[in-house]
Amino acid sequence: MPKIVSVSTIKPAYTLHQKNIEQFTKALFQNKIPQLNRLLKVFENGEIKTRHFCVPLDWHKAEHSFEERNHLYIQYAVDYSVKAIEDCLKNPSYLNKPISTEEIDAIIFVSSTGIATPSIDARIMNKLKFSDRTKRLPIWGLGCAGGASGISRAFDYCVAHPKEKVLVVCVELCSLTFQPNDLSKSNLIGASLFADGVACALVCGDEANIQHKENVPHIVNTASKWMPDSEDVMGWDIQNDGFHVIFSKDIPTIISKWLGPFIKEFFREEGIPLNKLDYFIAHPGGKKVLQAYEEALDLQCSHTAISRQVLQQNGNMSSPTVLYVLDQFMQKVEEPGSYGLLVALGPGFSGEAVLLQWR
């Protein structure tokens, strides 16, 4: 079965402390939003300590057009992706021998925080030495679910092409989407939560020729779930000045009621009892989202500890975040036969689950 043999993560240039972002947001919205001091408690309640942006905090003091934001998105997305790919293909923690980009058969590029045609993957291929026969699959609009969905689509590809190697590249530059003139509660919550991040994973088929560490997560199977008529749960409202965040306060409640039946059905289909799950590799959408995971699946805080740590140190980086969590588990897990479940939820409203076993 296909396997994840290497992962890399990139932290953008500017590391910001949550308290400083809160003070900046307070100064920006002072006398504009009623009961601002009460609403600003989301910064502390979320338990995030640091986040990473591709632009300095002061950049948000000036007005920026959608055009300017998107030009920056393209520039940074290409630069960070190149670094993430290079790091993934020569990561000594996972690979016994570096891999050339010329050996890569397909690129799945995942993002939702900017737009580009030709897509970012084509621009990356002009920077690195890829084969001109490399297949490209850009995925846009899956938001926080995108990292797990990218791994799932790489699994599908490698089942069909067992000798081939696929890169899953996730780039989100959420800082470029912040709207200083949006006085909605959703925008304020987004300002307290979202950050920039980049990650890359190498997924290989059964017959791929590659030298990697012995015990790696193999993808047993994947499952997708969609909720009808849920467009208002999360996503973007695209206006003249750019992306405005849609963020329902009911997300934790939806997860606690909706996720459990989905995951339990998936495990029944695979013939594996849920209590056989050793590792829960969850996209940490926020503190309340992690609590909702625990409630839905009868998990302990220990199951979500690594996801919580990634959230505290990086914020919610949308699609790459779950790969940051996966990276931590891949560095930690040593027991062959262990089961892990990689899960992320996003706009649609939708969920993606990836069942892993270390072999």
- CB-side exposure of 207: number of CA atoms within 13 Å? 6
Q: Are residues 132 and 227 in the same domain?
A: no
Is the model's pLDDT at 333 over the cut of 80?
Answer: no
Is 178 in contact with 60 (CB distance < 8 Å)? yes
Q: pLDDT band for position 335 (50/70/90)?
A: confident
Q: Are residues 314 and 288 in the same domain?
A: yes
Query: Domain for residue 169, yes or no?
Result: yes
Structure tokens at 92: 């000594």
Q: What is the pLDDT of residues 167-191, one digit of tens each?
A: 999 999 999 999 988 888 888 889 9
Quote the pLDDT of residue 233: 87
Query: Domain for residue 47, yes or no?
Result: yes
Residue that finishes a domain, picked among 142, 175, 204: 204
Q: How deeply is 38 buried, as exposed, middle or buried, from its count of CB atoms within 10 A (0-12, 13-18, 19+)?
A: exposed
- Active site positions, annotated: 144
Q: Are residues 258 and 135 in the same domain?
A: no
Q: Are residues 28 and 110 in the same domain?
A: yes
> Which residue type is seen at 117?
T
Chain CA centroid to CA 196, Å: 10
Q: Which of 353, 160, 194 is nearest to 259 (CA)?
A: 353
pTM of the model: 0.95
Is the model's pLDDT at 31 over the cut of 90?
Answer: no
Number of compact structural domains in the chain: 2
Strand partners, 9: 199
Residue that finishes a domain, picked among 171, 204, 237: 204
The percentage of residues in the chain with a pLDDT greater than 70, rounded to a whole number, is: 100
Q: Are residues 183 and 224 in the same domain?
A: no
Strand partners, 204: 3, 165
Query: How many helices (H) and strands (E) are present in the chain, helices listed first?
Result: 11, 13
- CA separation for the pair 319, 316 (Å, rounded): 9
Phi and psi based region of residue 229 (left: phi greater than 0; alpha: psi -120 to 50; beta: remaining): left
Mean pLDDT of the 311-329 span = 97
Mean pLDDT of all residues belonging to the chain: 94
Q: Are residues 140 and 282 in the same domain?
A: no
The label of the residue with tokens 């940490």 reads: 284
Q: What is the pLDDT of residues 33-88, one digit of tens each?
A: 888 998 899 899 889 999 999 999 999 989 999 999 999 999 999 999 999 999 99
Quote the pLDDT of residue 201: 98
- CA separation for the pair 326, 223 (Å, rounded): 18
User: Beta strand pairing status for 279-282 and 339-346?
Assistant: parallel
Q: What is the pLDDT of residues 275-310, one digit of tens each?
A: 899 999 999 988 988 998 998 888 888 999 999 999
Segments forming the whole domain that contains residue 53: 3-204
Query: Domain for residue 305, yes or no?
Result: yes
User: What's the CATH code of the domain at 265?
Assistant: 3.40.47.10
Q: Residue 5: helix, strand or coil by DSSP?
A: strand
Q: Are residues 225 and 186 in the same domain?
A: no
Q: Are residues 49 and 128 in the same domain?
A: yes
Structure tokens at 267: 């495990």
Q: Are residues 336 and 282 in the same domain?
A: yes
Is the model's pLDDT at 112 over the cut of 90?
Answer: yes
Q: Are residues 117 and 191 in the same domain?
A: yes
Residue that finishes a domain, picked among 204, 233, 252: 204
- CA separation for the pair 68, 103 (Å, rounded): 35
Quote the pLDDT of residue 34: 86
Q: Are residues 184 and 255 in the same domain?
A: no
